[in-house]
């Protein structure tokens, strides 16, 4: 069972986009703070109706967030 949901954040034209790798959640925000609030809400709503064991997740998974930048 995994205890972490990995998320990659990228920025394009002032919009921050977060995409979870283990679950089907993508969200965005005009700032990092807004994106993080939206991400927490979206993940919470997604997981509320799911069987976490079926997804291979522990009862209270944490979010690990990586920020992707263009070189």
Q: What CATH number is associated with residue 15? A: 3.30.160.620
Res 49: pLDDT: 85
Task: Dump pLDDT digits (tens) for 37-52.
Answer: 999 999 999 999 899 9
What is the DSSP code (8-state) at residue 33? H
Residue 69 pLDDT > 90: no
Q: Which two tokens stand for residue 5?
A: 């949901």
Rg for the chain, CA atoms, rounded: 12
Domain range for 24 is 2-68
What is the DSSP code (8-state) at residue 70? -
Phi, psi angle pair for 5, to nearest 5°: -105, 120
Domain count, the chain: 1
CB-side neighbour CA atoms (13 Å) of 61:
27
Q: Which two tokens stand for residue 49?
A: 């109706």
Task: Dump pLDDT digits (tens) for 2-60.
Answer: 999 999 999 999 999 999 999 999 999 999 999 999 999 999 999 998 999 999 999 99
Residue 71 pLDDT > 70: no
């Amino acid at each position: 069972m995994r205890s972490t949901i990995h998320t990659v954040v990228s920025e394009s034209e002032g919009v921050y986009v977060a995409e979870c790798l283990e679950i089907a959640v993508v969200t965005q925000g005009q700032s990092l703070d807004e994106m993080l609030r939206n991400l927490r809400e979206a993940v919470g709503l997604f997981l509320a109706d799911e069987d976490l064991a079926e997804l291979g997740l522990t009862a209270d998974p944490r979010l690990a967030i990586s920020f992707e930048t263009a070189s």
